[in-house]
Amino acid sequence: MKPRRAFLLLALFCFINSINAQESEDYIEFNDRKNTVHGVYLGLSFNYGTIDKAETFSSSFKVAYVANQQFEIGFIATGFYSDMNKLGLDNNNRDLVGVYGGLHLEPIFFSKSKVNLSFPLLIGAGGVALVDDYVDDVEIIIDDDDWERVFVVEPGINVLYNINRYIQIEAGIKYRLSSRVSFQPEYDLTRINGISGGIGIKIGVFNMGRNRYKKNIKDDI
């Protein structure tokens, strides 16, 4: 029986050594769990588009949490100005302004690459109003009664470029869908729907997929 036990112990020892040899490649892993990479950032973007065929300029500010470089959730606020008087619809040269904000959701694809593809979605609400714009001396007049409440859903598509772990550039297009508004008799405008495109910058900590539980052996040589 003793030779058989010695043979079994020798086989077990060889098996353990072979496993250790396979695991020790070019890094040491301190644990075997999969890491979830967290991130947070502030973003600013500028967009150009249309509302009822009138050129529209908008700017957005957002703050978001990034889960494992694959999904963003946060808050976004947007303000816009639409040059309606260029359409010749009104002798008083009135323009359209508005603000809205709400929940920001953005699934991200190809997140481990330098260039990513994402599909942002805004779900929120805000207000829009007409302003008086005089040719000689610009004067903006907005009364509380001039504001129209509006609900907005804004899907889009973005291309993201990761400069480094802290800065990301985005460019894309989006389409605004809104609830009904009424500015009659000044304007026969029922919705602020419209397409827009623009660029933006995100500044924060994205982590870029680094595994803090792995250490390269080459760094210690």
Q: Where are the domains positioned within the chain?
A: 37-220
Closest to 147 measured CA to CA, from 128, 175, 122: 128
pTM score > 0.85 for this model? no
Amino acid, single-letter form, for residue 44: L
Rg (CA), the chain: 28
| The predicted structure's pLDDT at residue 31 | 47
Token pair 């009904």 is found at 180
Task: Say which residues have a Cβ less than 8 Å from residue 104's Cβ, sequence separation at least 6.
Answer: 62, 64, 72, 73, 74, 75, 76, 120, 121, 122
pLDDT at site 150: 95
Rounded average pLDDT per 10-residue block, the chain, 221 residues = 55 53 47 66 96 92 92 96 67 79 95 92 94 58 71 97 92 96 78 95 77 50 46
Residues 174, 195 contacting (CB under 8 angstroms) = yes
pLDDT at 86: 58
Residue 120 sits at φ, ψ, to 5 deg, of -70, 150
37-220 topology per CATH: Porin (2.40.160)
Check residue 5 and give its pLDDT.
56
Sort residue 116 into left (φ over 0), alpha (ψ -120 to 50) or beta: beta
